[in-house]
Amino acid sequence: MNTSKHKKDFEDSSKLFSRMFFLWVNPIVRLGWKKPLEATDLLDLPKKDNIEQCYLDLKNEYRKNSFRKNILLRSLLAIHFKKVIIVTFMCLLSLIINIYVTFILKDIIIQIQKNNATIEHGLFLAFKICALVFMANMLTQHSYHTVLRFGCRLKAAICGIIYEKSLDLSKETRDRLKTGEIVNLMVIDNARIYNLASQFHNLWILPVQLVTIISILFYFIGISVLPSVIIFLILLLFSFKLSKNIFNYKKNLLSISDVRVAFMSDIINSIKIIKLYAWEKFFKKEVYNERSNEVSVLNLLAKNGAILNTVFIATPIIFAIITFSTSFIFGVKLDLAVIFSSIALFALLKPVMSQFPQVITSFIDAFVSINRIQNFLLLPEKILSQENKNLKKGEIIFKNSSFKNSLDSKFLLSDIDLHVNSGEFLIILGSVGSGKSTFLNSLLGETLKVNGVLEYCGKITYIPQIPWLINQSLKENILFKKIENKEKYNKSIFCAALENDILAFEAGDAIEIGESGVNLSGGQKQRINIARAIYDESDIYLFDDSFSSVDVNTSDMVFERCLLSELSNKTRILVTHKQEYAKYADRVIYLENGKISKIISNKYNEEKLDIFYSNKFKQKQKNLMVGMLDSVSNNILSNNIVSEFRQTNLDFTDLNQEKLQFQKIIIDEDRNFGKIDKNFYTIYVKAIAPGIVIYGMCALFLFKEVFSSLTDAWLGYWSSNRILPVNYFLIAYILLGIFGLLFSFMRSYSVLKKGVNAAQIFHNKLFEGVISAPLSFFNSNPAGRILNRFGKDQENIDLFLPQNLQEFVASLFTIFSTILILVFISPYCIFGIIPILLIYYKIQERYFCSSLEARRLDSITRSPVYAYFSETLSGIPIIRVFRAQKKFISENINLIEKNQKAFYTIISLNRWLATRVEFIGCSILFLTVCTSFYIQSYVNPGLLGMAITYSLMINTVLNWSVRMYAELASGMNSIERVTNYSKILPENYHGDIPGNEWPINGKISFIDIVLQYENNKKPILKNITLHVNEGEKIGIVGRTGAGKSSLVNALFRCVEPLSGDIIIDGKNIKNVSLTSLRKSISIIPQDPILFTGTLRKNLDPFHEFENKTIWKAIENSQIGKAMPELLITGLDTPVLECGSNFSIGQRQLICLARSILRENKILILDEATASLDIETDEIIQRAIQQLFSKCTVITIAHRVTTVLDCDRVLVMDRGCIVEFDSPEILRKKENGYFWHLCHE
């Protein structure tokens, strides 16, 4: 039976007996044994754990307590207080039973010591102690299950409430918070609250357990326990101190790791520019510096962790040594029954010592996190703008209004007096930093209103300057979670001129949009955003320079179809640098230094549409599109394009059926099946230490078990014989205990310390693999997925894997030593132990198959939750303006639910395992007690007492060993993932290293170049041959997808050509070192990238230039004019995340300054001025003419004016050269490609 087809809420529908023994988990264990579990196989959440309901319960409770202090804490307690009471009761009952078990143990040993008990009585005592132990352990397991479910509900609810709050934050608040800080609330702080929730009851259970145990010990032994109690309290305080140190180290480690991961995020998101600038060496040095700080803290953690582990292990040993030594010194006679009953009680002190400091630390930790989340929830939200229903739809009124982006902002958009009529078309012009985007943001409510009045009426839609896309299909990006309307959808595609693009995509409109639209051109991304806005059908449309990356032909087409036709009766405000569009607007507003400098009114009439939409223009549209669209519809391009399009039944989804199967850009995350390959265990062990050192470390584990066992055996032997004098006994007993503790520390420290060394090796290999990977790797893997290797996976390798390895190996040695002791003392046990261990092996094998896959699914389903959250944070203004908050919240809840199912399955499997291991442990205990009564007459009673005491504690070790093996395998999954990334086929960095002067002339030849991307089946460049002369200025134009940027990719060897050669100054670039090649060519990219840090770091990361030289570059790039404040803040001017404190134009000027500093003979401008106003564009062009007059300059541009001063212009179409000559000649070539561009 395929379980995935049926409802899997087994826990809710199970009977009492099934719930008691977790029999309801059996189906998924069986399924996991038969085949690897899939996401559809996971257990359904119980009704009480419904994610949406948990989130709504917390939200409602939070509102009820909103007027009180500690709102979040009160809300969390109010929802789950009953569960805490129930768990407390179960834990207390379990404690009472465990205490009673020690009395039964005492009675058993007394009976064995007297050697007069019958076999029947022995069987009764064996059954009695086993039944009570099993009952106590079952109560413990059910308390664990209850409390872990309780923690899951809290975690899910907090995720939901943080997500919703993020959507409501004001722009000023968002600008002050880094994306990583908000994500950390959901990831780190939420995890801390979960950790406390899962052990909250221990705050009062553990003190009660401590007092009870000490009271019983006083009853058993008397006043001799007092010194031990004092020493125990000292050790407890010492463990508190160590725990506090570890807490502080982890806190410090977290902040250092955050810096490193944030830095890695910068690198991954800006990898293309890093590679084009050949800055890998600099970033490698920076990352390794950050990592070295991390390793220093990890070493301190290893040392303190080893000491703390030793203290935990030492607690029962030291307690026993001091108690028994004191008793013997003062002549207190202790029989075997008291000794081994006390040892069992001492073992119960170990959880108090190990857990209580952690609980206190977790409480402090969680309390801080609760306050952090609460402070986040109290942050200012966006003030919802109220419509004035008395105005007409689309009407806007500014009355003496002033706006700021934030309270600290020095820039002020002031004294705005403007009345925008319904249906009016406004164009806003102005230089870089004049306040154009701030003007639009004020209408969206994304700025602070300082004074005045702003009123409007109707729905507003916004198309941003930087397009925002979600990692879904093109169609889903346009619909934006709205119900599909075929006619509206087709109209949106037409208005955004996306027909050609969709038909060219092999998957049509089902093409997957890669992260941040990585597989699309800038123009395509902008037009998808425009199509989304058209589909939304609003009253007011705000376009923020939305045509800057669109080629001229397509830009004009979209402008006419959208602003002059489809939206002609809507209110439209267009921020643009295309002054040629100004004559079609009703009014043109000029902004300067945050104020309206002038308003020019145009009388709108039909002549404007006729001028723009002349027969010649219509013919050009036909020429550009007919090749693609003839096969689809002969009616689309008729004389009345818009009206006839509305009547077409063109269905792009239907077209997909005739195309190739859906083509994925983002590849699915690797998921391994079955057991971890043994090679990865070998790789990890070899990274820890060479073979001979590994053998030495194993010897430490062995010696620890030997001395621990000898300590207890010596005590039992002497107590039953008392042949040696007390002083000899005490010396030997204390020495055995000290050696046991010494080897305990040595084994812990050796594994943890070597684990840090291994983690460093894996980190460095991972970074080398990623930084050397080709750009295609980053295009097909989301940044969040790559970052997860440096974040969660590296954290597993740093912290958890060494600890889990140490715990697992220690538990194995403990199991083997215990079994050997039992068989040595009572050989008859072997006949029962062998089948019991075989059953144990089968159980753990079945558990492991299901648990490992569930853990993998937990990891796989967790990543999308955080990736979706990060994606949402970058697009909050868009989500709000399209009123899609509820739908995004709903999607977030769905993603959390998928992850919670995996985690719920894991904890259920853990309980299933534990109940069965408890039964196995009880079986071994039963067997040991029975055989002890059988051989009581001829075996030392002390050894029998030792055997029974060990068998009483074996179930804990058996359970722990399987759990640690599962954790170790889960950690090995991180080793596997990191190792796979470290083996990515790198770019070919090898080759000749020419002299520093190369290239001297800057002469470039492309010879028969054929270029094809991995995810395309057709070449993007087809047999390109061209020659660029020394110092020549070449302009490259062509519509979106023509292959302009691909030419640059070939020049920088971002993609190796299928065939052909590129020669620079006589050297074939495929024979030149990649670093040397890229260092020798300067580029100003389309998307200006800045890194978090300072202005100097962004201009001169290698500190190669003096301040004077850098200031000269700043002056030549005109940055000072655009940013006068630089004269005050200087080169230490801070650059925030992604350069968010600079406008796009200002960022582009900084990129120009970088190129000026490099002084290379070849300069590439990849649509570098698309987002700049005409004036700034001219400034940059003049600077390039003056400073790069003797250099070869290749300019990719959308504006014809940008390339008119070039020596020659290259016109491309569909990967081919269609024209290549001087602009003067091409302009005279009537009806040529370039001629059409110039006559628009």
One-letter-per-residue 3-state SS of 1000-1041: CCCCEEEEEEEECCCCCCCCCEEEEEEEECCCCEEEEECCCC
Q: Alpha-carbon distance 779 to 759, whole Å?
A: 27
CATH classification for the domain delimited by 45-379+675-982, as one of 1.20.1560.10, 3.40.1190.20, 3.50.50.60, 3.80.10.10: 1.20.1560.10
Structure tokens at 200: 């909250």
CA angle, residues 978, 982, 985, in degrees to nearest 5 = 140
- The answer to whether the beta carbons of residues 71 and 65 sit under 8 Å apart is yes
Q: How confident is the model at residue 632 (pLDDT cuts 50, 70, 90)?
A: very low
Least confident of 103-112, 317-326, 640-649: 640-649
pLDDT score, position 1168: 75
Q: Is 1064 helix (H, G, I), strand (E, B) or coil?
A: strand
Strand partners, 401: 416
How far, in Å, are 708, 742, 748 from residue 735 at the CA level?
Answer: 11, 10, 20
Residue 423 contacts by C-beta under 8 Å, 6 or more apart in sequence?
394, 568, 569, 570, 571
pLDDT exceeds 70 at position 400: yes
Q: Alpha-carbon distance 242 to 301, whole Å?
A: 10
pLDDT score, position 637: 32
Tens digit of pLDDT for each residue in 336-347? Answer: 788 888 888 888
Residue 425 contacts by C-beta under 8 Å, 6 or more apart in sequence?
563, 571, 572, 574, 584, 585, 586, 587, 604
CATH classification for the domain delimited by 396-656, as one of 3.40.50.300, 3.40.30.10, 2.30.130.10, 3.40.720.10: 3.40.50.300
Give the H/E segment covering residue 598.
strand 595-601
pLDDT score, position 627: 33
Tens digit of pLDDT for each residue in 352-376? Answer: 877 787 788 788 888 888 888 999 9
Q: Alpha-carbon distance 721 to 336, whole Å?
A: 11
pLDDT score, position 656: 46
pLDDT score, position 1015: 67
Domain boundaries, the chain: 45-379+675-982, 396-656, 1083-1159
Sign of CA pseudo-dihedral 28, 34, 37, 40:
negative
The candidate with the shortest Cα–Cα distance to 968, out of 817, 838, 848, is: 848
Residue 1200 contacts by C-beta under 8 Å, 6 or more apart in sequence?
552, 1037, 1234, 1237, 1238
Q: Alpha-carbon distance 105 to 119, whole Å?
A: 16
Mean pLDDT of the region 216-235? 89
Least confident of 156-160, 225-229, 866-870: 866-870
Mean pLDDT of the region 282-289? 91
pLDDT exceeds 60 at position 1: no
- Say if strands 1021-1028 and 1004-1011 run parallel, antiparallel, or are unpaired: antiparallel
Burial 861-898 (b: 16+ CB within 10 A, else e): bbbbbbbbbbbbbebbbbbbbbebbeebbebbbebbbb
Structure tokens at 1144: 């796009």
Fill in the amino acid letter for 480.
F
Mean pLDDT of the region 1044-1049? 88
Structure tokens at 1176: 């700034």
Mean pLDDT of the region 747-775? 94
pLDDT exceeds 80 at position 464: yes
| CA trace torsion 237, 243, 247, 253 (10° rounding) | 140
pLDDT exceeds 70 at position 388: yes
* Whether the domain at 45-379+675-982 and the domain at 396-656 fall into the same CATH topology: no
Q: How confident is the model at residue 182 (pLDDT cuts 50, 70, 90)?
A: confident
Q: pLDDT higher for 231 or 940?
A: 231
| CA trace torsion 574, 576, 579, 580 (10° rounding) | -70
- DSSP state letter for 1215: T
Tens digit of pLDDT for each residue in 653-693? Answer: 444 444 434 455 556 666 667 677 888 999 999 999 888 89
Q: Alpha-carbon distance 349 to 356, whole Å?
A: 11
pLDDT score, position 466: 83
Q: How confident is the model at residue 131 (pLDDT cuts 50, 70, 90)?
A: very high
pLDDT score, position 1003: 94
How far, in Å, are 76, 156, 161, 1013, 1120 from residue 56 at the CA level?
Answer: 12, 11, 9, 47, 52
Structure tokens at 265: 């995020």
How far, in Å, are 52, 57, 872, 897 from residue 891 at the CA level?
Answer: 11, 18, 11, 10
pLDDT exceeds 60 at position 711: yes
Tens digit of pLDDT for each residue in 467-478? Answer: 888 888 899 999
Mean pLDDT of the region 1126-1145? 78
Q: Alpha-carbon distance 1077 to 1063, whole Å?
A: 11
Q: What are phi and psi of 9, to 5 degrees?
A: -90, 60
Tens digit of pLDDT for each residue in 984-1031? Answer: 888 888 888 888 789 999 999 999 999 988 767 788 899 999 999 999
Sequence length of the chain is 1240
Mean pLDDT of the chain: 84
The candidate with the shortest Cα–Cα distance to 219, out of 88, 329, 100, is: 100
Mean pLDDT of the region 438-456? 88
Q: Alpha-carbon distance 1069 to 721, whole Å?
A: 88
Q: Alpha-carbon distance 197 to 209, whole Å?
A: 20
Burial 164-173 (b: 16+ CB within 10 A, else e): bbbbbbbbbb
pLDDT exceeds 60 at position 607: no
> CB 995: neighbour CB atoms within 10 A?
7
Q: Alpha-carbon distance 680 to 975, whole Å?
A: 7
Structure tokens at 664: 């994925």
The candidate with the shortest Cα–Cα distance to 1091, out of 273, 397, 423, 439, is: 273
pLDDT score, position 660: 39
Tens digit of pLDDT for each residue in 1139-1182? Answer: 777 877 788 888 888 888 888 899 998 877 766 666 667 777 78
Tens digit of pLDDT for each residue in 912-954? Answer: 999 999 999 999 999 999 998 888 877 778 888 888 888 988 8
pLDDT score, position 8: 58
Q: How confident is the model at residue 701 (pLDDT cuts 50, 70, 90)?
A: very high
Fill in the amino acid letter for 1125.
E
Q: How confident is the model at residue 773 (pLDDT cuts 50, 70, 90)?
A: very high
Tens digit of pLDDT for each residue in 502-517? Answer: 887 777 888 878 666 7
The candidate with the shortest Cα–Cα distance to 821, out of 719, 947, 907, is: 947
The candidate with the shortest Cα–Cα distance to 137, out of 108, 95, 103, 169, is: 95
Q: Alpha-carbon distance 247 to 241, whole Å?
A: 10
Question: How many Å is the maximal CA-CA distance in the chain?
Answer: 121
Looking at CATH, the fold of the domain delimited by 1083-1159 is given as: Rossmann fold (3.40.50)
| End-to-end Cα distance, the chain | 67
Sign of CA pseudo-dihedral 534, 536, 540, 545:
negative
Least confident of 316-320, 446-450, 1139-1143: 1139-1143
pLDDT score, position 1071: 92
Least confident of 797-811, 816-830, 1118-1132: 1118-1132
- DSSP state letter for 509: G
Mean pLDDT of the region 749-773? 94
The candidate with the shortest Cα–Cα distance to 444, out of 460, 427, 458, 428, is: 460
Q: How confident is the model at residue 1104 (pLDDT cuts 50, 70, 90)?
A: confident
